[in-house]
Amino acid sequence: MSKVKLDEIDHQILDMLIDNTRTPFTDIAKKLLISAGTVHVRVKKMEEAGIIKGSSLTIDYVKLGYSFIAYVGVFLEKTHQTKFVLERLNEIPNVTVAHITTGKFNIFCKIRAKDTTHAKNIIFKIDDIEGISRTETMISLEESINDKKRLMHKIFNEL
């Protein structure tokens, strides 16, 4: 849980790699007026510190036929069932994100489906999980802002 100090160079390296993992270190070096070796050393340090956890492709799920996104708020019968319910949710591949939350819902999750029929089946599956008293679905009509575009320095430099 320790905070790690990064300097401006590190932020800019992260920025470019967040935008495209395969940005050659030589390109980064050229842009930042340092050597590729230095980029390598700094990236390695950030990996060792656990700041860089890994890398992943950004997939266009819509093109693959998965155009349906919904958020499902889950109400539990009893709070101590949280762990059990999360395990069941984890078994459904279409539940792509889940958070334990305060406020209105006990658990809050995101599902990705092909269409409304498919989504209905997934929601029924969720409703059937033991310990869930009821759910509330919010269908996404449009994903307007998306993690990807958020460059690090925008977050870092703001107060």
Residues 109-148, interacting with a second copy (CB under 8 A): 109, 112, 136-148
Residues of this chain, 87-106, that bind a second copy according to CB under 8 A: 89-90, 93-105
81 binds, among DNA, a second copy, none (CB under 5 to 8 A by kind): none
Instruction: Name the binder of 68 from DNA, a second copy, none, CB < 5-8 A by kind.
Output: none
Query: Which CB atom, from 41 or from 62, has the smaller least distance to a second copy?
Result: 62
Please tell me whether residue 52 binds DNA under the rule CB under 7 A: no
108 binds, among a second copy, DNA, none (CB under 5 to 8 A by kind): a second copy
Beta carbon nearer to DNA, 37 or 124? 37
Cβ atoms of 68 and 80 within 8 Å: the answer is no
Which residues on neighbouring strands pair with residue 111, listed in sequence order? 70, 95
Measured in whole angstroms, the distance separating CA 20 from the mean position of its chain's CA atoms is: 16
Q: Is residue 26 within the footprint of DNA (CB under 7 A)?
A: yes
Binding residue (CB under 7 A) for DNA from 3, 22, 78, 80 = 22
Rounded to whole angstroms, what are the CA distances from 125 to 2, 30, 59, 131, 135? 39, 52, 25, 13, 11
Do 93 and 109 touch, CB atoms closer than 8 A? no
Size of the site for a second copy (CB under 8 A): 71
Residue with tokens 């300097």: 7
- Residue for token pair 């920025």: 15
CB–CB of 128/91 below 8 Å? no
DSSP state of 112: E
Contacting a second copy within 38-97 (CB under 8 A): 49-60, 62-67, 69, 71, 86, 89-90, 93-97
